[in-house]
Amino acid sequence: MTQDTINHPPLLPHLMIDGLNRYNEEPCLHLGDTIATYADVRKSTSQFVQALQSTGLGKGARIAVISGNRPEVLYNIAAMQIAGCCGTALHPLGSVEDHAYVLNDAGIDALVYDASLFEERAKELKAACPGLKHLLGLGATEVGVDYTALAATFEPQALVAPDISPEDIGAIVYTGGTTGKPKGVLQTYRAAAYMTMVQMAEWEWPEELRMLIATPLSHAGGAFFVPTLQRGGCIYVTQGFSPDIIFDMIEEHKITATMLVPIMIYILLDSPRAASVDMSSMETIFYGASPMSPARLQEGIEKWGHIFYQFFGQSEAPMVLVNMRKSEHDLSKPERLSACGRPSPWVHLALLDDNNQVAGKGKAGEICVRGPLVMKGYHKLPEQTEETMAGGWLHTGDVGRFDDEGFLYIVDRTKDMVVTGGFNVFPREVEDVISAHPAVAQVAVIGVPSEQWGEAVKAVVVLRADSSASDELAEEITLAVKDAKGSVQAPKSVDFVDGLPLTAVGKPDKKVLRAQYWEGRDRSV
């Protein structure tokens, strides 16, 4: 311990150990057939820490994870933190090429994989990634070592935090990006601890926390682990997602909080069970990761009450930049439902113009932030790092504006903007109009090639179950936008599809959506 460590704050491994040590026989994890107490999770975490260390994986080792939701994923998340490893989550639906790029780019040492689902993928990645030294299977595996069985050979020990600095890299998170290859965001232990601190200070947690996780534990779901531990709560994890799975869990276990991305909320609202399910125990639905339709948000509030809490962030500065409290979802001010809330007092946030100056009152500008949440940079991409952090601000790529009460409205992504006939169209504004149509379940608006306009506005629409695609409906949708926003914003075409491509965290993947329309053309998507 040196003088320069005297001001180091507790980091995620410390918070994890503290949370696990506070309780013993209280329930901590409910997943499938596993019901584990705090003592059980503590012991399993210790065994997984020792398994990593016995394999030579300790401070600074880089580990990628691909798995379905199973108890060992949570034990491994905790073990990687407490061993001081650097983690990277792989998209379960990604291609071999996508995964191999990430593993090679990040210099991954070990792959932890669900042997029941990704045995063949592990074999393919071993062949494609020369630097990959270890394959650790969750369960019996022929390709690598049975990580679960190895962990079981160790006697549980007291958990000891690693010798790490706030500026050490705790995770490399690959962003989908709108152009080119994904970028590796270097997230420090400092940023993860600060995010957790803001979550604990600002977010509206139920007094009795029974937290339902329906998203991948290896991605956004894991961000709720430490807050739940610190509040003595229990995590209930689903294996898959469907309205029946979610509603059954809520009713059976009297769930008090959950985190859902908007598309999940839409699916739940469209279920026949939405009107009859007993939601009386539910106190907070945290939602974020992509914009939510104001019309569908209103529908949710009218069905289930003021239980919605919005958060906003990105991989480069995660989750807690802006939040909108439950009471701020004010149905008497319907325009408010388009906002993402007020900036957190724990970050510096400003709207900047093209000259890095603060945009004038009421003017739109790029959302830029400063503070301990901000990443260290992009892995091996100094030019992109410098561009994103120009002028001493993290440039999020989102365009926003403030209203008179200080609520922030995200107009759109700068790279998603459609330039049609010299006019700028922000898809988010068009999507909000279309999503209010009673036939529409989901919508994504993109720019597609046009000889006349350069780009033309296209709406890609998923209909509700009781609606059918037709030329008349497409015309209705187009006219609704024309009446609300003008002819420039109105889609020149409407495609009806069964579903939208999604990223790992459940937001519509516009890069994939655009690619099919721009194939063979000179445009970055």
> Which range among 330-334, 485-489, 496-500 shows the weakest confidence by mean pLDDT?
485-489
The CATH number assigned to the domain with range 417-518 reads 3.30.300.30
pLDDT of residue 525: 33
Residue 332 makes CB contacts below 8 A (sequence gap 6+) with: none
Token pair 């890095």: residue: 356
Between CA 297 and CA 49, with CA 197 as vertex, the angle to 5 degrees is: 110
Token pair 């993402």: residue: 340
**What is the rounded CA–CA span in Å between residue 429 and residue 439?**
18
Residue 471 makes CB contacts below 8 A (sequence gap 6+) with: none
The CATH number assigned to the domain with range 348-413 reads 2.30.38.10
Fold assignment, 203-341: Rossmann fold (3.40.50)
Which one is predicted more confidently, 308 or 428?
A: 308
Please report, for the chain, how many H helices and E strands are present, in that order.
15, 26
pLDDT of residue 178: 40
**What is the rounded CA–CA span in Å between residue 51 and residue 68?**
21
Which one is predicted more confidently, 225 or 290?
A: 225
Residue 355 predicted with pLDDT over 80:
yes
Residue 298 predicted with pLDDT over 80:
yes
Residue 3 predicted with pLDDT over 60:
no
Whole-structure pTM value: 0.84
CB contact at 8 A, 177 and 183: yes
Q: Does domain 39-188 fall into CATH 3.40.50.720?
A: no
Pick from 73, 63, 128: which is nearest to 95 by CA?
A: 128
Token pair 């890609």: residue: 460
Between CA 115 and CA 125, with CA 119 as vertex, the angle to 5 degrees is: 125
HEC secondary structure over 313-375: EECCEEEEEEEECHHHCCCCCHHHHHCCEEECCCCEEEEECCCCCECCCCCCEEEEEECCCCC
> Strand 257-260 relative to strand 210-213: parallel, antiparallel, unpaired?
parallel
Mark residue 241 as left, alpha or beta (left: phi above 0; alpha: psi -120 to 50; beta: remaining): beta
Residue 171 predicted with pLDDT over 50:
yes
With bands split at pLDDT 50, 70 and 90, how would you rate the model's confidence at 79? very high
Which one is predicted more confidently, 221 or 427?
A: 427
pLDDT of residue 213: 95
> Cα–chain-centroid distance for residue 81?
19
The pLDDT of 128-134, averaged and rounded, is 97
> Which range among 39-53, 295-309, 443-457 shows the weakest confidence by mean pLDDT?
443-457
Q: What is the tens place of the pLDDT at every residue in 85-111?
A: 999 999 887 889 889 999 999 999 999
**What is the rounded CA–CA span in Å between residue 340 and residue 489?**
22
CB contact at 8 A, 221 and 15: no
**What is the rounded CA–CA span in Å between residue 323 and residue 252?**
30
**Domain extents in the chain:** 39-188, 203-341, 348-413, 417-518
Q: What is the tens place of the pLDDT at every residue in 8-57?
A: 999 999 999 999 999 999 999 999 999 999 999 999 999 999 999 999 99
Helix, coil or strand: residue 184: strand
- Max mean pLDDT among 89-103, 213-227, 361-375, 449-463 falls in 361-375
Assess whether the region 39-188 and the region 203-341 belong to the same CATH fold.
Answer: yes
CB contact at 8 A, 199 and 122: no
Q: What is the tens place of the pLDDT at every residue in 227-272?
A: 999 999 999 999 889 999 999 999 999 999 999 988 899 899 999 9
Residue 385 predicted with pLDDT over 90:
yes
pLDDT of residue 180: 60
pLDDT of residue 221: 65
